[in-house]
Structure 1
Amino acid sequence: MELLDLAVCLFVLFNVCLSYPQGVVLKQPQEPKELWGYVQVRSKAHMFWWLYYANNPTKDFTELPLIMWLQGGPGASGCGFGNFEEIGPLDKEMKPRNTTWLQAASILFVDNPVGTGFSYVDDCSLFAKNLTTVVSDMMVFLRDFFTHRTEFQTIPFYIFSESYGGKMAAGIALALHGAVQKGSIKCNFVGTALGDSWISPLDSVLSWGPYLYSTSLLDDHGLAEVTAVAKEIMDAINKNQYGLATELWSKAEGVIEENTDNVNFYNIMTKEVPEMKANEQENLHLSKSYLIRLYQRHVKNMHKNSLNELMNGPIRKKLKIIPDCVKWGGQSTKVFENMAEDFMRPVIDIVDQLLAANVNVTVYNGQLDLIVDTMGQEAWIRKLKWPSLDQFSQQRWKALYVSPESTETAAFHKAYENFAFFWILKAGHMVPSDQGEMALKMVRMVTQQKH
């Protein structure tokens, strides 16, 4: 048997050698293209992450940045929606995505706050209730990640985000900058990009009426009704009644739907999906009726049946580490409900602190987004106390094209010192989904890569 084994080994080795030209040195196996796992950020609170190494034909992942992607909601899954609907290597039909950001960076998806996506808590008292807890949980995660993935400690690290993820990204970026300065987290943090981000809820709400009116989606009567409820929200926020403001925010969306024949808050060129049936509402287990409507519009909308089946079927089987008791998105309703009191709080001051700390801040926004319309973004930017705001404002924006051959304007761009703004044309709330080529170009510009 020993002679036979030796003969087989020699035969295999001979054929392997014939497969390669003389002089070719076989490379050692490369790092795996993807990794995933859990980090316990607090006792009985578990955060799920999924890392993809950059996939560029001419550059190793060490030559490209690392991007952490944060989804909105709160309660929408980056490992699910951001990955398979927006920027990951495959779409939800498991087909290759031509505009995946892996061409320009490694991507770290994180399901946060705990309870989102495949993240979970063992005790319902452990859901995050405010940005402070969201940030502290993420600091635990990032410390663990960079401690164990030392190959990423010196690679430029950026936090990209969308919607409520932008509010979380601002707070996380400020805390991370401080941790890096202190040496408690080893990473090369460079900046954050806030996409269609919920930085100043009031500025968004106050601009809804004028934006819809200017696009012929409200008449005079509708504008008056939307303006009236927006003023109610402003009064609640001015009195620090943030829970009431969230409830009134839901009321405002209802007024808009009635007056616009159900415009889609994520893209004004499309219709909103019908309301859930009564039995679907019962299954949500939310304590207040207005939260049902909000969750249906802004979280459940991202957990469509096809994505839900993918994540709880083939993806769950692939990952092999998801506990039997955890269903993808199963705790997302609780995530959303627990953050309701914090939902309408602004974080403009945090953006000011980031700019003062010389952290690079990019704002990008889709032209057709309503929930976080561009007018509202421009409004809160004008409120910044950043000393260079006047110089930024005086800059003339520049037109951008997806390629040198293209003649169609894809976006406008303006930048000064460590602040930049991208106006993305023909895109709604989910910019990478609507304008994948321009989004990828933007990523390369933000991360200072040559095209």
Structure 2
Amino acid sequence: MESLFTRRVASLLFLLALGAGSLTKQQREPKQAWGYVPVRSNTSMFWWLYYANNSAKNFTELPLILWLQGGPGGSGCGFGNFEEIGPLDKDLKPRRTTWVQAASVLFVDNPVGTGFSYVNDSSAFAKDIGTVSSDMMVLLGEFFKSKTEFQTVPFYIFSESYGGKMAAAIALDLHKAIEAGKMKCNFLGVALGDSWISPLDSVLSWGPYLYSISLLDDQGLEEVTAAAKKVLDAVNKKQYKLATLLWSATEDIIETNTNGVSFYNIMTSDPPTATVSDHENLHFVNLYQRHVKYLHKDKLSDLMNGPIRKKLKVIPSSVKWGGQSQDVFKHMAEDFMRPAINIVDNLLAANVNVTIYNGQLDLIVDTMGQEAWVRKLKWPRLEKFSKQKWKPLYTCSKSTDTAAFYKSLDNLAFYWILKAGHMVPVDQGDMALKMVRMVTQQEH
């Protein structure tokens, strides 16, 4: 029997699709398109496009943004869309701070097996960032061939968490493809949000960060520091799978010492993770539950596997939204702790615009760790960038509350987003939207 929630959702979808009632143009669902691209044998990747919905401008006058979710295994078409930046929230009510008012937004469920994307053979799951990027090149190639109206529109990649690591690799491959004449699009930059570019720098900063805000005592700091040093040793020896397991163990120690502080926002707490008898599998399960299953909340899962799949009409009956997400995460375990600082260096050297933004209250990718890897960049202009004075930002001209700080030089920019955790658009929607407009050169 259909639940009241399911019936209500289906009714709202129908009404919004028709633009019924007294909804304004910017409250109605914008023009959309979606579909699958077989990026490799036994794989299909799902994408969902929202055309920009702005009463003053046609979509061709606004940029196109590709949004990449984290995990790996988190669904952009689900979480990013309905929980963060899409036109409707998970209750299918219009989102006031949707990015669709400032750009067309392309959500993609990647790596393959994420969200509505799927594999037909377990050997087809991506195991490294190189495969993730090459898969996306196939999808983007098909997208720009079929949607020729977007070939000249300014194109940006925005990302969150592990999505930032994927975004960096994809941005570099995209730049090379355009230079070689293999891709026709107007690529203008990449934005790395609370990004897993240097996992080790995050882990090494957890102890000092938590201690400085009174979430660890001396004994707790000692325990977290000792655990982090084990991660450092494994990374230095390039034992990346071991480093992933030790990273999980470090999180367990933090969880115990802080009484369950949330890794996504230090002002909140999370319930303890489940226990599993097998020691190695315990760490993978804990990691999955903290960093991927978190993106598959029951209400969102009911929405995606119910009314949304009915609306889309292209999802195979054998595919459950999020059904392969744990497999996605496990297959990427060897790649998880590998750093990607060199990729950012290559982007800067290629004169690609790079924006870094981070939530002040994030723990998993705390700002201290982000600043640490930025200091390791080999970019010749880094010293001058670092010496610049940051500038305060306000959400609007009438506001007197500082919402963020930022600095920029040439093709590098950094935004410190205040009062935001790991999911910046969730906590600070107005500031996130302002940042989007600044990055895409719609305002200064």
5+ long unaligned stretches in structure 2: 1-28
TM-score, length basis structure 1: 0.91
1:367 to 360, 364, 372: 360
- Aligned partner of residue 269 in structure 1, secondary structure: coil
Among candidates 410, 434, 438, match of residue 417 of structure 1: 410
Q: How far apart in 1 are the matches of 2:252 and 2:279?
A: 18
Q: Among 325, 328, 337, which residue is 1:335 paired with?
A: 328
Superposition deviation, residue 303 in structure 1: 0.3
Equivalent residue number for residue 306 of structure 2: 313
Residue aligning to 2:229: 231
100, 105, 115: which one pairs with 1:102? 100
Whether the aligned pair in 1 keeps the contact of 2:385 and 2:409 (CA below 8 Å) is yes
Residue in 1 that maps onto 2:441:
448
SS for the counterpart of 2:38 is strand
Match of 1:392 in 2: 385
Alignment of 1:103-252 (within 5 A): 103-252=101-250
The corresponding residue for 2:37 is 39
Task: Determine the structure 2 residue equivalent to 1:8.
Answer: none
User: Separation in 2 of the partners of 1:215 and 1:185?
Assistant: 47
Partner of 1:267: helix, strand, or coil?
Answer: coil
Q: Which amino acid aligns with 1:120?
A: Y
1:333-388: CA deviations, max 9, x gaps? 00000000000000000000000000000000000000000000000000000000
| In structure 2, C-alpha distance between the alignment counterparts of 1:88 and 1:138, rounded to whole Å | 21
| 3-state SS of 1:232 partner | helix
| Cα RMSD (Å) | 1.4
For the 8 Å contact 1:286–1:333, the answer to whether it is kept is no
Query: Could you tell me how far apart the structure 2 residues matched to 1:239 and 1:43 are?
Result: 34
Aligned pairs (5 A) from 1:56-75 = 56-75=54-73
Q: Which runs of 4+ in 1 moved over 3 A?
A: none
Using the TM superposition, give the Cα deviation of residue 273 of structure 1 relative to its aligned residue in structure 2, in angstroms.
2.9
Quote the residue 2:349 is aligned against. Answer: 356
Contiguous gaps of at least 5 residues in structure 1: 1-30
Distance 1:300 1:184 in 2: 37
Identity in percent = 73
- SS of residue in 1 equivalent to 2:267: strand
| Alpha-carbon shift at residue 32 of structure 1 (Å) | 7.4
Which of these residues, 420, 423, 430, is aligned with residue 430 of structure 1? 423
Which residue of structure 1 aligns with residue 5 of structure 2?
A: none
Shift of 1:287: 7.6
Calculate the TM-score normalised by the size of structure 2.
Answer: 0.92
Size of the alignment, in residue pairs?
416
C-alpha displacement at 1:274, in angstroms? 3.5
- Structure 2 SS opposite 1:364: strand
Task: Give secondary structure in 2 for the equivalent of 1:42.
Answer: coil
Deviations 1:206-242 (A, max 9, x none): 0000000011100000000000000000000000000
